[in-house]
Structure 1
Amino acid sequence: MNIQIDTVNYLNLTVPPEIVADTLNIEVSSHAYLPKTDDPESDWVASVAVPAFKLIRKRYGHPVPSFCSIGTGSGLDVLAAIELLGADHVGFTDLQSEVVETAAKNITNNLRKGKKVIMAYGAGDLLSPLSGQQKYYDVIYENLPNVPLDGGSGIAEKRNSGHFLEKRREPIPALVHNNMLDLHFLALLQARQFLTENGSVYSTLGARVNLDIFRLLGLEAGYDSQILTYSWKIQAEAEDVLSGYARQEAAGLGPFHFYLVHDLRTAFSGTSVEESGTGALEIEKTLVPHQLSATEAWAAWKNGKEIGHTVAVLQSTPRIK
């Protein structure tokens, strides 16, 4: 499938892009998550990654030399980082070769004439495909799934960027597993050996659990973590995701938090991206009376209600041993 994207609108730019093309021509592999480019509030890169990248660049005060994406999908997150962070060394991975090869073509084919980036990429588990390639990154970004595939679902049977294979050999702390944060924890563990001296990992997390769980996630993995940005989005793939969370909740995990969209709009009204991280806990408190469990959200969605969830970008820096 091929889609065209107006770069100025998608990246919310005030001037034409300097590094990537004015119109992005993106091929989407059959096993990659389909971007919601016609609905930015539901699109993860446009609504979550783009504001975070802009804030990271602002705080750096200069271009960020190197960027890595774990689970890139179509490569749109890498193109956004190239334009917004100014990264000229990029790494990216995804689970299947078809996905990363397509992402590599999308990145190469959507640079402006005369612009080049150095790429390292591979298919496989989290960061392991990059071992032996360009090793150190200033920013490692991950947008990984929380919901495991059904036991009867084969990996080749469906788009699977929103799911993962549940069985892992690595030990997972109970706090992490009970809140369905397994892959985020494992990504943090692997990322230590790929970070520059002052580098950080940015985990984009559907905040369907209390925010203090994310800080503890970082601590479990050996990091000092803080909320960089806090926002919300409409639940994409609602039938699939809500039923998956409800199933896990019924199995004893969670509880998980969802909200009616109008309650989210009200809670976040007037909050800037810069303010959202420091004000995250206060915003969360205002939302407590409006929380829906996954089971309640699933039922509400089936009755025609529009469901959303909060989103945190967690910045994690390795603790000095």
Structure 2
Amino acid sequence: MSTASTDVRTRPQNASSLLRFDARHYLDTPGLSRIKDDIEIEVADRAYLPDLTDLKRDWVASVAAPAFRVLAAGRASRPHAFASIGTGSGIDALAAIEILGAEVVGITDLFDEVVAAAARNVRRNIRAGTDVALHAAAGDLLTPLAPSRVKFDVIYENLPNLPVDDTRAIEKDKTSAAFLAPRREAIPAFVADWLLTMHYLALVQSHDALTRDGVVLSTIGGRVPLSVLTQMSRDAGFVPRILTYGWKVQADADDVISTYANWELQGLGPFRFYTVDALTAAFADLKPGEAGADASAIEASLAGEQLGAVAAWEAHRSGVRIGHTYVVLQSSLAE
């Protein structure tokens, strides 16, 4: 029996509690064919809740799903296999099952309980008669999916930017904004300096997990120049393209902006923030795919509006609404 849908966030009180919401509203589509209309999501303690009170602030609804639509429209054939690195609640995988038509799905995250809950969410919300082979495992980036030997047509990642050196902080906190550092792998200096380490490593690991015409979708809070992101893709052995481009109000602004400001004071950056008013004017009514095609021009138009992290922190503390751009970077294997 389907449950009554709601567009209002409901916070689980324990592991067995569920978020219930209308997937048609969440994915901005009048009809669904592969996942249920009424979604029930269990959220593990270390996974972030979807933001159902304002879908423009929700990463899957406002960033991933539009990117999947643009990708699907531009492909000659439907992606057969999809992987999500850092899936959280698994809603990104459900969006891929519906929008991309994925029939084989791999999901990973850092903690066993997060992946277990995400796997239950995927299985619980697939429409009857839809066949999906699910591979779910916990661990570092793509490594947990290696035993499946699946080659993926689309690898999607929404990984953290901010390094921490305290295991206890990762253990006790939600991990969407930070990752455990240092890493042992060789990282280009510019990648580390722009706090893009995890995105680069996901690209490097993807070489062995992609089909020949597969792509990696890196979703990145664009607080760095677009040229840095495309160079990162090239250095990892890919051909880059800005698939979609947009902006968001800075979530967890007290923590995130102040952390970027601290890195800036140590010589990194300057990182790029903007007032919400400036972002609203620059993007106007452009759809994410349209903005992606015109990303360089939009970035140039914002040049005079940039706030470094220190300035953005001061503005935020004075009550100014601060946002940042986001990028969905498509990386294809070089010929």
How far is 1:153 from its partner?
A: 4.5
Partner of 1:201: 216
From 213, 220, 227, the counterpart of 1:212: 227
| Aligned-partner residue type, residue 124 of structure 2 | N
Confirm or deny: 8 A CA contact 1:120 1:134 kept in the other structure: no
SS at match of 1:74: coil
Comparing 279-288 with 132-141, greater Cα deviation is found at 132-141
Matches within 5 A, 1:1-321: 1=12, 2-13=18-29, 15-149=30-164, 151=166, 153-320=168-335
How far is 1:38 from its partner?
A: 1.4
Deviations 1:138-176 (A, max 9, x none): 000000000123648532221112210011000111110
SS at match of 1:155: helix
How far is 1:33 from its partner?
A: 2.1
Deviations 1:49-97 (A, max 9, x none): 0110001111114432111000000001000000000101000100000
| Aligned-partner residue type, residue 222 of structure 1 | G
SS at match of 2:93: helix
Q: CA separation in 1, counterparts of 2:69 and 2:44?
A: 27
SS at match of 1:148: strand
Comparing 311-320 with 104-113, greater Cα deviation is found at 311-320
Q: What is the TM-score when the length of structure 1 is the normalising length?
A: 0.96
SS at match of 2:200: helix
| Aligned-partner residue type, residue 231 of structure 2 | L
Q: CA separation in 1, counterparts of 2:316 and 2:22?
A: 31
SS at match of 1:100: helix
| Aligned-partner residue type, residue 246 of structure 1 | A
Structure 1, gaps ≥5 residues long: none
Comparing 247-256 with 185-194, greater Cα deviation is found at 247-256
Q: CA separation in 2, counterparts of 1:166 and 1:304?
A: 32
> What is the root-mean-square deviation of aligned Cα atoms in Å?
1.3
| Aligned-partner residue type, residue 3 of structure 1 | L
Confirm or deny: 8 A CA contact 2:94 2:122 kept in the other structure: yes
Number of residue pairs matched by the alignment: 319
Same amino acid, percent of matched pairs: 46
Q: CA separation in 2, counterparts of 1:248 and 1:154?
A: 18
Structure 2, gaps ≥5 residues long: 1-11, 13-17
| Aligned-partner residue type, residue 5 of structure 1 | F
